[in-house]
Structure 1
Amino acid sequence: MQPYRNSDPHPPIMQGTPPILVPPRLDWDRAPWNRWAFQNMRQIVPTVEVWRGTGPASELPRAETNLDALAVTDSLGRPSTLAGLLDETYTDGFLVLKDGTVAYERYFNGMTPRSLHLSQSMAKSVTAAVCGILVGRGLIDPAKPVTAYLPELAETGWAGATVQHVLDMTTGVKFSEAYTDRYSDIGQVDVASGWKPAPPDSDPSFPWPAHVWELILRLKETTRPHGAAFEYRSIETDVLAFVMERVTGRRLAELVSGELWQKLGAEESACFTVDSAGYALADGGFNATLRDYARFGQMILDNGAGIVPADWIEATRNGVHGTQFSESLPEGSYRNQFWIQDPRSRALMCRGVFGQLIHVDWNNRMVTVKLSSFPDFSNTPYAVATLKAIAAIATELGSAAE
């Protein structure tokens, strides 16, 4: 089947009893299946709850502006509207907070305010925010070697790397992030994490890892000295999460619940996907609602809001610029598992494949969340057009407030 936008006819994926169109276990994250799957992960793989607690949800005041007709450009640079761009870029949910108030909120593709949506790599930033809390308590020292916390890694490529190297993805560990190669390291993460079965046509002698920790222990090679360069590798976040679990004696889902989700006043419990050893996938397995992702972004905008140390947020906004870290961020940088848009705004971004984004803009006191289900892992024109649209929204809301 072909990918479909919100304005196109929708194939009846998982509709009917029993459903006729069921996402294949090997390709549930590929188009068009991901349009259903990203909102229904609990029906696909095992998950563990990230409990919201018993307290009230934190208030999200509303002062909404209809931005549907706002003039923006599409992914080809042609005149469009915000509504048109959201359709073009396979949006499932879109929310803008201005000064902590909901200015614009839209749902598509069957998504509702209660739907949990897969975060993909935005989970890295959620995990790192909790790490910042543990650093603030003195439980983790980013300057210490990873092996001070996980001595088992002395025989791996992480020997000699610091926790800060892991946070910034500047270790020299050899790891392939080739998403379309099922045998690549990230392809093996799919199997180790329980997201995918081993491909049925794979070499029967290939040693597929049973869980994520087993895969980490196998990564013994380096390609450069630690600290020499940034290279995006999802497994770094999983190493970080194991450090966090080791120093606290608590599993990741419990840590995120107690240290972050309950304190944010989340509206809904979130969840993580888990592997066969019960490990919650820190690098991409987090699922939450649109509004709760916005609450997370607002906490970052409020310099930690007394939850995450303010000096951790400030340090996160100070990355090393000068090298193109991403095609869609020509002036971007990476620090503490967050992206930095450019050295002037120092806006922070949580990003995930297939179009997940939390954009935190201090200059305009604005948080923007976009949850999507792109047909492809990444699409630079979509990402660039989205950032330009966020700038247009900031201008529009700024002038509306004057």
Structure 2
Amino acid sequence: MAEQPTRIIRRGDIPREDWDRAPWNRWSFQHLREILPSAEVWRGDGPVAELKRRPQNLGDIRFSSARGDISVAGFLDHSHTDGFIVLHRGEVVFERYMNGMTERSLHLSQSVAKSFCGALVGIAAAAGAVDPQKPVTHYLPELKATAYDGALVQHILDMGSGVAYSEEYTDPYSDVGRTDVASGWKQKPKGDTRDWPRSMWQQVLTLKKREAEHGSRFNYRSIETDVLAFMLERVSGLRLPELLSREIWQKMGMEEGAYYTIDPEGYALADGGLNACLRDYARFGQMVAQDGFYNDRQVVPEAWIRETRRGNPDLFGADYRATMPRGAYRNQFWIEDFEKPVLECHGVFGQWIHSDPEHDLVIAKLSSWPDFLDDAQFLEARAAAHAIKRALIHG
């Protein structure tokens, strides 16, 4: 029997309110600009920073997980992988594309995008445009009427403000559910006659409740990143996609352009709306591993990257220690182990960059998990990373 042609999925096939849910996210995470408005991150007209290749058969590496003894290839097969790449000493040693993804596909990063915003703040701080030790209201005086009054920029970088914001992904009425509406990702629940924010800036201005002292604890809240982005736009006079293009994409010699989803007022969603190709996510991880240096230039200040590795584990609560028992958070990056220099970028549905300067290793994985969070898959990905690391070091 002749093989049936692959069915072409179109925008009209995707339920408007469920584009990010299984099974639709297997397609939508690679085609989001066909669903939502977007703004380009221009790569510029300069040469692409070459990624040399030194292929190795890492797929056969075996490691132990909660599911028993498995191979890296088996892990990729069952973990809803779209793309997976390993750089060792700056060279591509392993690269796989699955689920129709190619080297040119632009994939949604979810909260991996937060680390790009953190890097931009580091650049602005080195230029004297931002002082992390100043109150955020110094740059955004409108926030004096919100719970952000009194919070330092550094508090927000570390997600340590005391502002109340619920990050319950499956609850459409939670604060992050309201962010879905404000960002243009979703529509408000049918039949709800209450006022909902019509843009991200409107939502920020509604955050009036403080639940802790600023700086007293780490509590992951997506909207903190958007506050930082509004600050960056205010001090630079540029929209976020333009700023990311000028300060990172062009300087790094990225292979492809990128794009952000935008809200009804044209604001790019800093906390999760960035879409880029797998190799460019890996380049970003390599730049971080090299203390901000890439493509023959200092892209992000070295001091900023080194300071980012110095998170305070005492602020890291029990809920986060379940998957990162020695973890911390600093400057919009996750720290795998507070005594080691590894930095990571995490996004729901399985987006991940692992950047290890000690072993000059970078791993990037793009996924379309059926669930927002999956601790078992997250821990298995980290076990795979450590198995790959051991094989490269001792092989």
* TM-score normalised by length of structure 1: 0.93
Tell me which residue corresponds to 1:5.
none
1:73 shift after superposition:
3.0
Given the alignment of the two structures, is residue 362 of structure 1 paired with residue 357 of structure 2, yes or no?
Answer: yes
* DSSP 3-state at the match of 1:261: helix
Distance in 2, matches of 1:21 and 1:336, equals: 39
Q: Is the 8 A contact 1:153 1:217 kept in 2?
A: yes
1:374 shift after superposition:
0.5
Partner residue of 1:191 out of 181, 204, 212: 181
Query: What amino acid is aligned across from residue 279 of structure 2 in structure 1?
Result: R
Gaps of 5+ in 1: 1-9
String of CA shifts for 1:33-89, please: whole Å, max 9, x gaps. Answer: 101010001101000000000001101000010111110234x24011101101121
Distance in 2, matches of 1:371 and 1:329, equals: 20
Q: Is the 8 A contact 2:251 2:299 kept in 1?
A: yes
Q: Is the 8 A contact 1:142 1:164 kept in 2?
A: yes
List 4+ stretches of structure 1 deviating above 6 A.
Answer: 10-13
Partner residue of 2:281 out of 272, 293, 303: 293
Tell me which residue corresponds to 1:153.
143
Tell me which residue corresponds to 1:122.
112
1:327 shift after superposition:
2.6
Distance in 2, matches of 1:284 and 1:267, equals: 21
Distance in 2, matches of 1:190 and 1:390, equals: 32
* DSSP 3-state at the match of 2:263: coil
Q: Is the 8 A contact 2:198 2:264 kept in 1?
A: yes
Tell me which residue corresponds to 1:274.
262
Tell me which residue corresponds to 1:105.
95
Query: What amino acid is aligned across from residue 105 of structure 2 in structure 1?
Result: S
Query: What amino acid is aligned across from residue 43 of structure 1 in structure 2?
Result: E
Q: Is the 8 A contact 1:13 1:20 kept in 2?
A: no
Query: What amino acid is aligned across from residue 369 of structure 1 in structure 2?
Result: A
Please show how residues 62-211 of structure 1 align to structure 2 within 5 Å: 62-74=53-65, 76-200=66-190, 202-204=191-193, 206-211=194-199
Given the alignment of the two structures, is residue 51 of structure 1 paired with residue 35 of structure 2, yes or no?
Answer: no
Given the alignment of the two structures, is residue 239 of structure 1 paired with residue 221 of structure 2, yes or no?
Answer: no
Q: Is the 8 A contact 1:73 1:85 kept in 2?
A: no
Q: Is the 8 A contact 1:96 1:367 kept in 2?
A: yes
Tell me which residue corresponds to 2:306.
314
Identical-residue share of aligned pairs (%):
53
Query: What amino acid is aligned across from residue 363 of structure 1 in structure 2?
Result: E
* DSSP 3-state at the match of 2:58: coil
Q: Is the 8 A contact 2:86 2:364 kept in 1?
A: yes
Tell me which residue corresponds to 1:341.
336
Distance in 1, matches of 2:347 and 2:309, equals: 19
Distance in 2, matches of 1:125 and 1:334, equals: 11
Distance in 1, matches of 2:138 and 2:333, equals: 24
Distance in 2, matches of 1:45 and 1:256, equals: 20
CA-based RMSD of the aligned residues comes to: 1.5
1:158 shift after superposition:
0.1
* DSSP 3-state at the match of 1:121: helix
Distance in 2, matches of 1:220 and 1:391, equals: 43
Distance in 1, matches of 2:106 and 2:8, equals: 17
1:20 shift after superposition:
9.9
Given the alignment of the two structures, is residue 373 of structure 1 paired with residue 368 of structure 2, yes or no?
Answer: yes
* DSSP 3-state at the match of 2:105: coil
Partner residue of 1:350 out of 332, 345, 355: 345
* DSSP 3-state at the match of 1:68: helix
* DSSP 3-state at the match of 1:384: helix
Q: Is the 8 A contact 1:144 1:162 kept in 2?
A: yes
Query: What amino acid is aligned across from residue 278 of structure 1 in structure 2?
Result: G
Distance in 2, matches of 1:258 and 1:343, equals: 32
Distance in 2, matches of 1:29 and 1:123, equals: 16
Tell me which residue corresponds to 1:227.
215
The verdict on how the C-alpha distance between 1:190 and 1:20 changes in structure 2, with shifts beyond 3 A counting, is closer
1:12 shift after superposition:
6.7
Q: Is the 8 A contact 1:95 1:102 kept in 2?
A: yes
The verdict on how the C-alpha distance between 1:13 and 1:144 changes in structure 2, with shifts beyond 3 A counting, is farther
Report how many residues are paired.
385
Given the alignment of the two structures, is residue 249 of structure 1 paired with residue 237 of structure 2, yes or no?
Answer: yes
Distance in 2, matches of 1:282 and 1:385, equals: 28
Distance in 2, matches of 1:331 and 1:37, equals: 34
Tell me which residue corresponds to 1:27.
18
Please show how residues 380-391 of structure 1 align to structure 2 within 5 Å: 380-391=375-386
Partner residue of 2:52 out of 33, 39, 61: 61
Distance in 2, matches of 1:12 and 1:187, equals: 34
1:346 shift after superposition:
2.6
Q: Is the 8 A contact 2:350 2:378 kept in 1?
A: yes
* DSSP 3-state at the match of 2:59: coil
The verdict on how the C-alpha distance between 1:20 and 1:218 changes in structure 2, with shifts beyond 3 A counting, is closer
